[in-house]
């Protein structure tokens, strides 16, 4: 069933300051809308509960890619097409380019934003595994000021984030620190294209010979929110890659996998495939 447009209001403030002032003065009233590729699907199917939308898509203060020597800063309104076109991101953060290219169709990528992808807080979203593995931080902004926190703490549960009423995601910042790392990202879905992931794993490893000196594992759909697999990371750190290490890493991953059963897949399948993706990555390091 379609929604009745006359039941909805859309406000489009001219500046970020105006948007934040409105969010402060009318708390809990307005829902930000950026590219709208999540919210308009809900609107079209009559499921959009929020009646007052605050358009932020045109706010240039939230749309930028700044690369300084140590960090790449990406504004929340940056689209996946813009991410895919960035030479700095392609060079330093290839897993983010790959995940941006998986997100829906080209038409979708022209509108869909990085901020919308993570604020929507789906456990299956495509960019969180790479952002987790790369150790991203997020900057949140409100009329009271800004705060920056590790992205690992951003998701509190299914569709729940630390965003407070009146706050917007301003930007995502990622260190340019992974030049010597082996990098991999895999998404398992129903099809190769235009599929929401059943499970996804982004993996970074630094090696000294066959010893793992740093390991970073970000996942989607392994729990009710995107998470880093710290138990598996601990099992692998400072270990040589061999059958025994791989067995222990799989067992550690199993302890932190709490996937959901839903229409896309079963929890059992998700857990088994996550372990297989991890093993594939580890074996690729010594091939």
Ligand X SMILES: Cc1cc2nc3c(=O)[nH]c(=O)nc-3n(C[C@H](O)[C@H](O)[C@H](O)COP(=O)(O)OP(=O)(O)OC[C@H]3O[C@@H](n4cnc5c(N)ncnc54)[C@H](O)[C@@H]3O)c2cc1C
| Cβ neighbours of 64 (radius 10 Å) | 14
Contacts with ligand X by CB under 6 A: the residue count is: 30
In this structure, are residues 247 and 144 in contact, taking their beta carbons and an 8 Å threshold?
A: no
CB nearer to ligand X: give 221 or 239: 221
CB nearer to ligand X: give 28 or 209: 28
Tell me how far apart the alpha carbons of residues 183 and 214 are, in angstroms, rounded to a whole number.
12
In this structure, are residues 134 and 38 in contact, taking their beta carbons and an 8 Å threshold?
A: no
Residue nearest to ligand X (CB): 116
Q: Does 75 engage in binding with ligand X (CB under 6 A)?
A: no
Q: Does 81 engage in binding with ligand X (CB under 6 A)?
A: no
Q: Does 125 engage in binding with ligand X (CB under 6 A)?
A: yes
Q: Does 126 engage in binding with ligand X (CB under 6 A)?
A: yes
Q: Does 102 engage in binding with ligand X (CB under 6 A)?
A: yes
Tell me how far apart the alpha carbons of residues 283 and 97 are, in angstroms, rounded to a whole number.
24
| Cβ neighbours of 56 (radius 10 Å) | 26
Q: Does 36 engage in binding with ligand X (CB under 6 A)?
A: yes
String of DSSP letters for 77-113: T-BHHHHHH-HHHHHH-HHHHHHHHHSS-HHHHHH-B
Around 35, how many Cα atoms within 13 Å sit in the side-chain half-sphere? Answer: 26
Q: Does 103 engage in binding with ligand X (CB under 6 A)?
A: yes
Distance of closest approach, residue 219 Cβ to ligand X, in angstroms? 14
Task: Write down the residue that tokens 């340019």 correspond to.
Answer: 176
Q: Tell me the window of 31-39, 82-90, 177-185, 228-236 that interacts with ligand X (CB under 6 A).
A: 31-39
Residue from 23, 30, 35, 74 touching ligand X (CB under 6 A): that is: 35
Q: 253: which 2 tokens?
A: 């991953």
CB nearer to ligand X: give 11 or 108: 108
Q: 53: which 2 tokens?
A: 């939308």
In this structure, are residues 171 and 76 in contact, taking their beta carbons and an 8 Å threshold?
A: yes
Q: Does 196 engage in binding with ligand X (CB under 6 A)?
A: yes
Distance of closest approach, residue 92 Cβ to ligand X, in angstroms? 21
Q: Does 175 engage in binding with ligand X (CB under 6 A)?
A: no
Binding site for ligand X (CB under 6 A): 31-39, 41, 56, 76, 102-104, 108, 111-113, 115-117, 119-120, 125-126, 163, 168-169, 196
């Amino acid at each position: 069933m379609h929604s009745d447009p006359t039941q909805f209001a859309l406000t489009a403030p001219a500046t970020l300051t105006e948007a934040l002032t409105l969010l402060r003065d009318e708390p809990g009233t307005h829902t930000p809308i950026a590219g709208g590729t999540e919210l308009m699907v809900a609107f079209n199917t009559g499921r959009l509960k929020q009646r007052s939308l605050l358009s932020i898509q045109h706010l240039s203060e939230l749309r930028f890619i700044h690369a300084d020597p140590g960090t790449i800063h990406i504004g929340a309104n940056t689209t996946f097409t813009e991410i895919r076109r960035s030479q700095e991101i392609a060079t330093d953060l290839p897993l983010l380019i790959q995940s941006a290219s998986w997100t829906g169709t080209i038409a979708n990528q022209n509108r869909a934003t990085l901020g919308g992808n993570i604020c929507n807080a789906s456990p299956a979203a495509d960019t969180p595994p790479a952002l987790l593995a790369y150790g991203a931080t997020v900057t949140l902004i409100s009329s009271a000021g800004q705060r920056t926190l590790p992205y690992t703490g951003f998701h509190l549960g299914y569709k729940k984030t630390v965003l407070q009423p009146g706050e917007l995601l301003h930007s995502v910042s990622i260190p340019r620190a992974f030049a010597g790392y082996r990098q991999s990202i895999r998404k398992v879905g129903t099809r190769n294209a235009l599929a929401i992931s059943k499970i996804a794993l982004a993996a970074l490893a630094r090696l000294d010979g066959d010893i793992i000196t740093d390991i970073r594992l970000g996942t989607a759909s392994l729990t009710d929110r995107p998470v880093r697999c710290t138990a598996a990371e601990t099992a692998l750190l400072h270990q040589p890659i061999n059958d025994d290490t791989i067995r222990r890493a799989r067992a550690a991953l199993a302890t932190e996998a709490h996937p959901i059963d839903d229409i896309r897949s079963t929890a059992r399948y998700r857990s088994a495939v996550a372990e297989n993706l991890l093993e594939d990555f580890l074996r690729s390091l010594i091939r």
